[in-house]
Amino acid sequence: MSGFLLMISFFTRIPIGNRVEYTEKRYLSGLKYFPFVGLIIGLFLVPFSMLPIDNTLIKGLLITIVYLFISGGIHLDGLADSTDGLFSARDKERILVIMKDSHIGSFGVIALILYFISIVIISGNLSFMWLLLMPFIGKSFGLIAGSFSDYARKDQGMGYLFMHHLKPLHGLLILAVVACAVGVFLGLVGLLAILFCLLMLFLIQNKCIKTIGGHTGDTIGMTIEVIQVCFLLAGYICSALMGSQIWG
């Protein structure tokens, strides 16, 4: 339980406070609960997705603001830094330096603009179950990415602990949980969205491994946010093509 509370403290702005002291043992024990922190975040999004607001852009904006407030936008820095580095066409060491730089570059700005446009437009058109599961799916795929990758940097910080501790079995187990949850609550459209997310994860993994030899904390954060957008986008497109109704 202390490990789970530590994960909530690290990856949300829910006021756990100093109730759980950080230790490496607690951090490692809490990693298996990392995806379920996404469900906690999703619970805060559900009431706003059910508001009787006809303007879907306004509803999407409210949902996005709540998501940023609860999550603290913790992975968005990774999204910006990773896109700046991975698309800089430099060698590995220079890319890692760029990703550490506190300044944001043009690729990072473009990534954030596309991210916010996507989230605002799509989230206001989807039913509450999609928004409940969205952060869970994102963090689950972040865990899967880490469990099938090496750590790209030489230091042994928290990103190293995250990837060194996770094994492929962890990734496969959470993928099975994701597939079951999505199949039960979202049906065929949800499963098609997960297949699209797996394709995107493969492309991200391939890019990171070829470019920097694995993942860092930043690229895991990028993976989480990209997969969340892909999950919502694929669900919306698949439902439109199949004539299903997934918006509320």
> Which pLDDT score is estimated for 225?
97
Q: Is the pLDDT of residue 2 over 90?
A: no
What average pLDDT does this structure show over 100-129?
92
Residue 144 resides in a domain: yes
User: Could you tell me the two tokens for 15?
Assistant: 């006021």
Q: Is the pLDDT of residue 247 over 70?
A: no
Residue 208 resides in a domain: yes
Q: 248 falls in which pLDDT band (50, 70, 90)?
A: very low
**Contact present, 247 and 126 (Cβ < 8 Å):** yes
Structural domain boundaries, residue 118: 35-242
Q: 244 falls in which pLDDT band (50, 70, 90)?
A: low
Q: Which residues are CB-contacts of 105 (< 8 A; sequence separation ≥ 6)? A: 84, 88, 98
Residue 22 resides in a domain: no
- Residue 16 DSSP one-character state: -
CA 228 to chain CA mean position, Å: 5
Residue 6 resides in a domain: no
**Contact present, 136 and 38 (Cβ < 8 Å):** yes
The model's pTM: 0.93
Q: 44 falls in which pLDDT band (50, 70, 90)?
A: very high
What average pLDDT does this structure show over 96-111?
90
Residue 30 resides in a domain: no
Q: How far apart are CA 12 and CA 69, in angstroms?
A: 9
Residue 21 resides in a domain: no
Q: Is the pLDDT of residue 226 over 80?
A: yes
Q: Is the pLDDT of residue 81 over 90?
A: yes
Nearest to 178 by CA among 139, 234, 131, 147: 139
> Which pLDDT score is estimated for 38?
95
> How high does pLDDT run on average in the chain?
90
Residue 27 resides in a domain: no
Count structural domains, the chain: 1
Q: How far apart are CA 31 and CA 159, in angstroms?
A: 12
> Which pLDDT score is estimated for 245?
53
Q: Which residues are CB-contacts of 228 (< 8 A; sequence separation ≥ 6)? A: 119, 134, 135, 137, 138
Residue 69 resides in a domain: yes
